[in-house]
């Protein structure tokens, strides 16, 4: 049927778009969806050429490239292309509405048939006439039943597809917000979370602290043992940070070997305790190279601790934490400095 064809086509294009976004670790923003949907659906040959050429040159498709395509192809004057995109998205709704309308018309006819049969039964009829009415009633009921079955099947299909799409979108959103190596938030997502906590702190006066953490002599680890071991050290620190913080705390990889932690509803003294717990936990564990059973030198970290001052910017807040971290580095590393 027509609506089934529309539904299948729209679902297929949405699935392809989500798979492409996930494969290239793109954030699920509306412009990104729009560009990639048109690419996989073959709706815009110019976008297809741009993306195919970009990939063929061994370039990595990132959000900067996608945003540039969006700016080039979807300006305010390009209303027609935007409308085509929204038409594609609306096909799923159209399919459901079509089936609902068909079912509604069938139910209306069924009600009229029932009323006619009821009037006939009130009159005096012989057994042959009554038998014919009953047969017609059975046939009408079967038609109505089949119509409802088709509607339910359509709704079940859309429900399952919507559930799958929602799960895919949540997965993509999580991947876009996460540092793939450590499993912590990436810098962009961390900054967004911190901005929200700062706003909440300004409105409520709740204490808010931040830790800035750096792995001591990390460059030497990379130079001596290689980047694969360096990656394992980063993963090791990420795991231990997770073990040492509360579920309400937010940890992120801020860049390279630098990590940062948001501690909501936490004063300086409490933040220092968390910092020391992480520092001591990391120091007492020795890592071993699996292939040689060789022990690596003790991994140590330096930490800077600071608490938010009302009405200061996010940048000033983090700068103060970074300054405290720098003092830990200056005074011998493997220590916590509270501003």
> How many C-alpha atoms does 90 have within 13 Å on its Cβ side?
9
Q: Give Dmax (Cα) for the chain.
A: 108
Output 37-46 pairs: Cβ under 8 A, ≥24 positions apart: 37/13, 37/85, 37/88, 37/89, 38/81, 38/84, 38/85, 40/13, 40/16, 41/13, 41/16, 41/17, 41/88, 43/81, 43/84, 43/85, 43/88, 44/73, 44/81, 46/73
Give the H/E segment covering residue 73.
Answer: helix 63-73
Verify whether residue 257 is a known catalytic residue: yes
Please write down the HEC assignment for all residues of 17-50.
HHHHHHHCCCCCCHHHHHHHHHHHHCCCHHHHHH
Residue keyed to tokens 């700016």: 71
CA pair distance 168, 18, nearest whole angstrom = 7
Torsion angle in degrees (nearest 10) through CA of 24, 174, 229, 226: 30
Rg, the chain, Cα only: 31
Instruction: State both tokens at 120.
Output: 């006939």
Contact by Cβ (8 Å): 286, 294: no
CA pair distance 180, 176, nearest whole angstrom = 9
CA pair distance 202, 309, nearest whole angstrom = 9
Burial 227-252 (b: 16+ CB within 10 A, else e): eeebebbbebbbebbeebbeeebbbb
Q: Which of the following is catalytic: 9, 257, 312, 339? A: 257
Positions annotated as catalytic residues are 257
């Amino acid at each position: 049927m027509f609506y089934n064809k529309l539904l299948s086509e729209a679902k297929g294009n949405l699935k392809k778009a989500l798979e492409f976004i996930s494969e290239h670790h793109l954030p699920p923003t509306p412009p990104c969806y729009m560009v990639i949907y048109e690419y996989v659906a073959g709706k815009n040959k110019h976008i297809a050429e741009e993306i195919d050429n970009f990939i063929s040159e061994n370039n990595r498709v990132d959000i900067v490239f996608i945003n540039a395509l969006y700016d080039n192809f979807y300006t305010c004057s390009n209303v027609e292309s935007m409308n085509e995109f929204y038409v594609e998205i609306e096909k799923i709704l159209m399919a459901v509405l079509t089936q609902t309308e068909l079912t509604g018309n069938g139910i209306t006819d069924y009600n009229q048939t029932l009323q006619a049969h009821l009037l006939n039964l009130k009159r005096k009829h012989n057994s042959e006439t009554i038998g014919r009415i009953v047969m017609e009633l059975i046939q009408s009921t079967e038609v109505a039943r089949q119509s409802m079955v088709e509607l339910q099947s359509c709704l079940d299909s859309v429900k399952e597809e919507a559930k799958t799409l929602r799960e895919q979108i949540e997965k993509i959103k999580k991947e876009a917000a996460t540092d793939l190596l450590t499993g912590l938030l990436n810098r962009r997502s961390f900054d967004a979370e911190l901005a929200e906590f700062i706003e909440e702190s300004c409105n409520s006066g709740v204490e808010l602290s931040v830790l800035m953490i750096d792995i001591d002599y990390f460059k030497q680890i990379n130079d001596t043992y290689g980047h694969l071991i360096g990656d394992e050290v980063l993963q090791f620190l990420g795991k231990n940070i997770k073990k040492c913080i509360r579920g309400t705390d937010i940890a992120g990889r801020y860049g390279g070997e630098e990590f940062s932690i948001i501690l909501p509803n936490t004063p300086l003294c409490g933040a220092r305790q968390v910092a020391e717990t992480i520092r001591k936990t990391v120091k007492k564990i020795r890592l071993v190279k699996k292939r040689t059973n060789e022990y690596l030198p003790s991994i140590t970290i330096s930490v800077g601790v600071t608490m938010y001052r009302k009405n200061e910017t996010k940048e000033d807040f983090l700068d103060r934490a970074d300054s405290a971290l720098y003092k830990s580095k200056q005074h011998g590393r493997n220590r916590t400095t509270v501003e």
